[in-house]
Amino acid sequence: MILETLKQRVMILDGSMGALLQGRGLPAGYAPDLWNLENPEAIRAVQHEYAQAGADILLTNTFGASRRRLAEYDAYGKLKDINEAAVVIARKAGGPNILVAGDIGPSGTTVQPFGEISFDEAYQIFREQAAALIAAGVDLLAIETMFDLQEMKAAIMACNDVRGKTPLMAFMTFTQDGLADTGTDPETAAAMMESLGVDIIGANCSTGPEHMHPVIEIMARSTKRPIAVQPNAGLPIQKDGETVFPMAAEPMAQWAPKFHQAGANIIGGCCGSTPEYIRRIAKMLKGKPPAPRTYREGLRITSRMKTLIIGPGHPFRILGEKINPTGRRKFAAAIAEGRMDLVVAEARKQLESGADALDVNVGVPLTDEPMLMGKAIQAIQNVVDLPLVIDSSYIEALEQGLINYPGKALVNSINAEQERLDLIFPLVKKYGAAVIALCAEDEIPESALVRVKNAERILKEAEKHGVRKEDIIFDPLALVVSAMQAASAQTLETIRMISRDVGNPTSLGLSNVSFGLPNRSIINQTFLSMAVSAGLDAAIMSPYEEELKQALSAASLFAGRDPDCKRFIDLQTTIQAEKAAARAESGPKTTEQTIYDTIVEGDRDSIEGLIHKALAEGSDPFHLFVNVMTPGIRHLGDLFGARKRFIPHLVAAADTMKRGVAILTPLLEASGKIEHKGTIVMATVKGDIHDIGKSVCAIMLRNFGFSVYDLGRNVPMETILAAADEHSADIIGLSALMTTTMMQMKVVADVVKEKRLPYKVLVGGAVVTPRFATEIGVHGYSKDVGDCVQAAEALLEGRTVGLLTGAPT
């Protein structure tokens, strides 16, 4: 009934409850829900005021009347009674013409994968309360003030389970920057809520009308469902120990017509709003027809935060195919062990290569695929904010993927077989997903006509299962052209017919077509271009092949998918720039010149091959070390000193030099020509466990001819001095990164001084300063890896280094 009414006119929702109850004696911090039993008259009085002011819909006083929230007040046992009482009160307050909406607030905790409790636990919490409200006879359910899309999903699914034909309204809450707490944008929230069957979609709380207005504009463009809005009375302030919302009824009410124009069908108020505000907006808007809205057509899938639209007029979408263990031994082994590092790396690489969504297949034989799918979905969405395509032959794996995914996923796939339709459509409906539908039954049809008939049958079955036409993307079947040449060509005709006659978007698995033939790349490129021209909207394909992406980009120009050729031009500009950079780098050089450059550039992957090459060409090892590599690293040091290069360059160069020197060392030792500058014992002091900087210094010192004994970390004074004695050290190098451990440096320095030991003490680390080094009486301070070699060399020459002037030597 409400849905029919909303087609004709705007409806008015009520305003805030909490502040008005506090005015009637509700103690600060006390749950208003408890007054449904303890002081029902106060609730009734507030709601009666709203009804009198013109509200068409009253929210029950049950925002916190769910399991965990009530348990905070030891009132969980009264959950049913509290919710039931709230409905009775609202009916009494509003009279026969009022609609009573059963209000469901957040669970009071966070939901996995982002949060604490499992999806199922959240679902049960919401189901319990929704069932109580439905049993009490509400006219609709209203989920409100949801911060997180996954929690919203659990709430909607729970309500769907118990509400039958009772309408469902759901509000997401957005901050001043127009996003939900966990980053979801309004378009994504609307798309997800609509696909889960929410009847009225809205935003409430957290912000005043000024910040909520753009949210409503976006939502109204992103769904065909009625829109509801409940802003706060401005941004809150603290006054005399209480939170107050300063916006008065009149300025707040001025926003109501703007919300109406933006597309809102139901308008009310949240925190700080009053019956006076409701009275004013009812006067302005009561009876007004809904404003016209525009809607961007297309199949929508979402990540937690962003929406992707697939369909005519939108760019062609690349669904990255690379998360798939088929034929990949190492990848499959990692998945079988439960390791997701390769899956995550592949997800990142596909994102960086331009994929618009990612197909996720973790089907390794003899593994727990449902568990692995859940794990993979969780791991991927932590690092990549693309919509995901959940790809499995097993319904349990599909379901685990959907449970762990807050957004609106694309399920891969169903076909026209009755068994598969009956198995998977309910899952798609339950989780609000979209689905890829193959235009085949158990046999692959040769002709386009039969495939299109299959598509039409799938749509009929979808309707029976309550799956919307707009959530289905058809796969016209990319067949192996070498085996089924005629049928493969019919795929293009199928695309044309579905686009023209059925009206749904299409997608296919591209790589199939070229299987078994040489030069697969050109076949894939040609077929893709032809398919784009026939109307194909997306493909499961590799995002790594540059030529394929270029062909796609060019084909899109003729398919209405690249207005003003902008994307094509941008792509070509990037490619030309990369080619120019590559050309600038090349030029004839000797091997020794290349070694020098490789060290300066810190290219550790190339150095070993180059050293071997130089030796094979007859270069003397000592000459290479002294006249090529050492000048290279010193030149880099000069560049560092001139602030043209930075510490990362030093670190990369040090590692590069180390790898080169490792090849030369046996040859230098055999020739007796190895230079020994001095001996240094290094340690991170007792109680401290940081040592990366020290390890880098150790390499740099070795590169410059020092013998370095690195004792590791958390090293007591006695061990340091024993090692210095054992190795006849010239220098003791100490590292500390904490204010709680740096005094250990003084312990070492004091013993060296008292016992007149022959070592120079050099200190460094993030918390160490020249002042500290001077005060504890060491011989040198090294700021970072950039000057540790010069510092050590200075100490060998008998100088102090890095200390404040006037320090004793």
* Segment 138 to 157, residues that bind another protein, using CB under 8 A: 144-145
Residue among 106, 167, 325, 363 that touches another protein (CB under 8 A): 106
**Residue closer to another protein, measured from CB, 507 or 782:** 782
Minimum CB–partner distance for residue 319 and another protein (Å): 21
User: Which residue type is seen at 363?
Assistant: G
- What is the distance between the alpha carbons of residues 408 and 196, in angstroms, rounded to a whole number? 9
Minimum CB–partner distance for residue 620 and another protein (Å): 25
Q: How far is CA 235 from CA 18, 145, 176, 208, 231, in A?
A: 16, 16, 10, 6, 10
Residue among 485, 671, 728, 740 that touches another protein (CB under 8 A): 740
Give the burial class of 289: count Cβ atoms within 10 A of its Cβ; 0-12 exposed, 13-18 middle, 19 or more buried: exposed
* Structural tokens at position 287: 């009876």
**Residue closer to another protein, measured from CB, 432 or 602:** 602
State the Cα angle at 21 between 16 and 24, rounded to 5°: 145
Contact call for residue 603 and another protein (CB under 8 A):
yes
* Structural tokens at position 524: 């894939």
Site string for another protein, 549-578 (x = CB under 8 A): ------------------------------
Q: How far is CA 297 from CA 221, 313, 642, in A?
A: 10, 9, 58
Q: Which residue do the tokens 């007040």 mark?
A: 73
Number of residues assigned to the chain:
809
- What is the distance between the alpha carbons of residues 27 and 23, in angstroms, rounded to a whole number? 9
Site for another protein in 8-27 (CB under 8 A): 16-18
Residue among 4, 419, 564, 605 that touches another protein (CB under 8 A): 605
**Residue closer to another protein, measured from CB, 271 or 479:** 271
Minimum CB–partner distance for residue 10 and another protein (Å): 23
Query: Three-class SS of residue 507?
Result: strand
- What is the distance between the alpha carbons of residues 180 and 158, in angstroms, rounded to a whole number? 21
- What is the distance between the alpha carbons of residues 197 and 169, in angstroms, rounded to a whole number? 10
**Residue closer to another protein, measured from CB, 357 or 458:** 357
Minimum CB–partner distance for residue 383 and another protein (Å): 5
- Non-local (6+) Cβ contacts of 267 within 8 A are 10, 11, 12, 13, 228, 229, 230, 256, 259, 260, 281, 285
* Structural tokens at position 452: 């299109």
Minimum CB–partner distance for residue 77 and another protein (Å): 20
- Non-local (6+) Cβ contacts of 525 within 8 A are 547, 548, 551
Minimum CB–partner distance for residue 555 and another protein (Å): 28
- What is the distance between the alpha carbons of residues 444 and 34, in angstroms, rounded to a whole number? 62
Residue among 181, 441, 493, 608 that touches another protein (CB under 8 A): 181
- What is the distance between the alpha carbons of residues 502 and 522, in angstroms, rounded to a whole number? 30
Residue among 4, 74, 341, 442 that touches another protein (CB under 8 A): 341
Residue among 102, 105, 432, 476 that touches another protein (CB under 8 A): 105
Minimum CB–partner distance for residue 237 and another protein (Å): 5
Stretch that binds another protein, among 311-319, 510-518, 673-681, 684-692 (CB under 8 A): 684-692
**Residue closer to another protein, measured from CB, 476 or 733:** 733
Site size with another protein, rule: CB under 8 A: 82
Site string for another protein, 447-486 (x = CB under 8 A): ----------------------------------------
Residue among 284, 336, 663, 738 that touches another protein (CB under 8 A): 738
Contact call for residue 524 and another protein (CB under 8 A):
no
| Residue 310 backbone phi and psi in degrees, to 5 | -115, 125
Site for another protein in 361-400 (CB under 8 A): 378, 381-383, 385
Closest CA to 193 of 217, 164, 228, 162: 228
**Residue closer to another protein, measured from CB, 223 or 302:** 302
Site for another protein in 27-86 (CB under 8 A): 63-64, 72
Residue among 152, 267, 440, 651 that touches another protein (CB under 8 A): 651
Closest CA to 132 of 36, 33, 65, 199: 65
Q: Which residue do the tokens 């609202």 mark?
A: 90
Site for another protein in 215-274 (CB under 8 A): 235-238, 241, 243-244, 270-271
